[in-house]
């Protein structure tokens, strides 16, 4: 009998599979399709201090082996998430969730993190300093060591739960930013967020997405994500949640061998709402195929 359980900074998960923020809503929509308690956890929709309508449409563009999105952090704001979304989620999910948090200033990150840190349902905070689809916030905090460290320090002062910083791949050296977050007190790293991408409509001769470019995700970015997780694992001593194009049990194992302690599944949920369920069900057989008894033992095994 294989053991699929893993641990993230004291948070025990039955398996390492976590739907990524923005691809699973607040969970209850998927709970109509299957029992989402089979998930290790899940990262709920990116939440900001104030409600956001998001970017103008169209927001999605298809491409080979992936998609481009520019949703722009549409969400009801942290007060409504706490008052309405989390109680609804509690009806269908009994495990701790991961709160994904974005902001447009240090003060906004601090405010939202402090609020969600108090919620019993939240087991871990995932601070997104890497969203490429908003202006004046998001990725701008994740492209320099100084600003990444500043967000990390500020958030850690007002929280008690583990803080994982979500990093952008759209930088010169992701390892330096990961190290800056670790030095500033981060408990872990989530990586990678989407790459930058664009599609142009040949008929209109204009960008397909209203925001011109957006975040490129899907199977095409998996090798990039594996490479970056591998490099950051060598650079830091804190755990990594690996993501970027994961769509199979084999991908989970490969990402963990690169250095991830758990994984997030993103774009695959938009293609197949049962993607995470299928990956979890396939994981024991994949482990047996490759001679793995305890999944958490393989983290960083490729080094």
Lowest-confidence segment of 137-141, 216-220, 228-232 by average pLDDT: 137-141
Q: Provide the pLDDT for residue 134.
A: 43
Say which DSSP state 186 is in. Answer: -
Contact 68, 214 (CB under 8 A): yes
What number is the average pLDDT over the span 80-88?
Answer: 96
Q: Is the pLDDT of residue 118 over 50?
A: yes
Q: What's the mean pLDDT in 257-274? A: 97
**What are the structure tokens assigned to 176, written together?**
């330096």
* pLDDT given for residue 71 in this prediction: 86
- The pLDDT of residue 30 is 97
pLDDT classification of 97: cutoffs 50, 70, 90 = very high
Helix locations, 18-161, DSSP H:
28-31, 78-80, 86-90, 106-117, 145-157
- Mean per-residue pLDDT, 127-147: 68
Asked if the model's pLDDT at residue 295 lies above 60, the reply is yes
The residues assigned a catalytic role are 131
d(CA 247, CA 222): 9
Position 140 confidence tier, pLDDT thresholds 50, 70, 90: low
- Distance, in Å, from the CA atom of 216 to the CA atom of 132, rounded to the nearest integer, reads 10
- What is the average per-residue pLDDT within 75-94? 96
Do 189 and 241 meet the contact criterion of CB atoms below 8 Å apart?
Answer: yes
pLDDT one-digit tens code per residue, 179-197: 999 999 999 999 999 999 9
Asked whether residue 133 carries a pLDDT value surpassing 50, the answer given is no
Split at pLDDT 50, 70, 90, the class of 72 is confident
Lookup result for tokens 């204009």: 206
Output the pLDDT for position 179.
98
Minimum mean pLDDT range among 63-72, 110-119, 138-147, 230-239 = 138-147
Percentages helix, strand, coil for the chain (3-state, rounded to 5) are: 35, 20, 45
The model's pTM: 0.95
List the structure tokens of 15: 């398996």
- Residue ranges in 48-105 assigned as alpha helix (H): 78-80, 86-90
Which structural domains are found in the chain, ordered by start? 6-298 (3.20.20.70)
Task: Provide the mean pLDDT of the chain.
Answer: 94
Q: Which residues of the chain form beta strands (DSSP E)?
A: 6-8, 11-13, 17-19, 60-63, 66-69, 97-101, 122-128, 163-166, 188-191, 195-197, 200-201, 206-207, 214-217, 240-243, 262-265
């Amino acid at each position: 009998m294989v053991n699929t359980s893993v641990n993230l900074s004291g948070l025990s998960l039955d398996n390492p599979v976590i739907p990524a923020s923005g691809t699973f809503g607040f969970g209850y929509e998927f709970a109509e399709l299957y029992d989402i308690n089979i998930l290790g956890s899940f990262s709920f929709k990116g939440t900001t201090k104030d409600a956001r309508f998001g970017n103008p449409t169209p927001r999605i563009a298809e491409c080979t082996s992936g998609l481009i999105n520019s949703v722009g952090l549409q969400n009801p704001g942290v007060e409504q998430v706490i008052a309405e979304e989390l109680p609804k989620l509690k009806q269908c999910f009994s495990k701790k969730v991961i709160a994904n948090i974005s902001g447009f200033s240090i003060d906004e990150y601090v405010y939202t993190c402090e609020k969600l840190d108090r919620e019993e349902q939240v087991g871990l905070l995932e601070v997104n300093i890497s969203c490429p689809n908003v202006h004046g916030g998001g990725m701008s905090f994740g492209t320099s060591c100084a600003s990444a460290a500043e967000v990390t320090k500020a958030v850690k002062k007002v929280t008690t739960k583990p803080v994982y910083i979500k990093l952008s791949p759209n930088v010169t050296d992701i390892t330096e930013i990961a190290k800056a977050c670790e030095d500033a007190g981060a408990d872990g790293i989530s990586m990678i967020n989407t790459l930058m991408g664009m599609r142009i409509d040949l008929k209109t001769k204009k960008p397909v997405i209203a925001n011109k470019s957006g975040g490129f995700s899907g199977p095409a970015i998996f090798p990039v994500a594996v490479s970056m997780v591998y490099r950051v694992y060598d650079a830091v001593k804190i755990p990594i949640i690996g993501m970027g194009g994961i769509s199979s049990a084999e991908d989970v194992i490969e990402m963990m061998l690169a250095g991830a302690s758990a994984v997030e599944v993103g774009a695959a949920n938009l293609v197949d709402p049962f993607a995470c369920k299928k990956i979890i069900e396939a994981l024991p057989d994949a482990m047996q195929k490759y001679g793995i008894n305890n999944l958490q033992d393989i983290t960083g095994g490729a080094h």
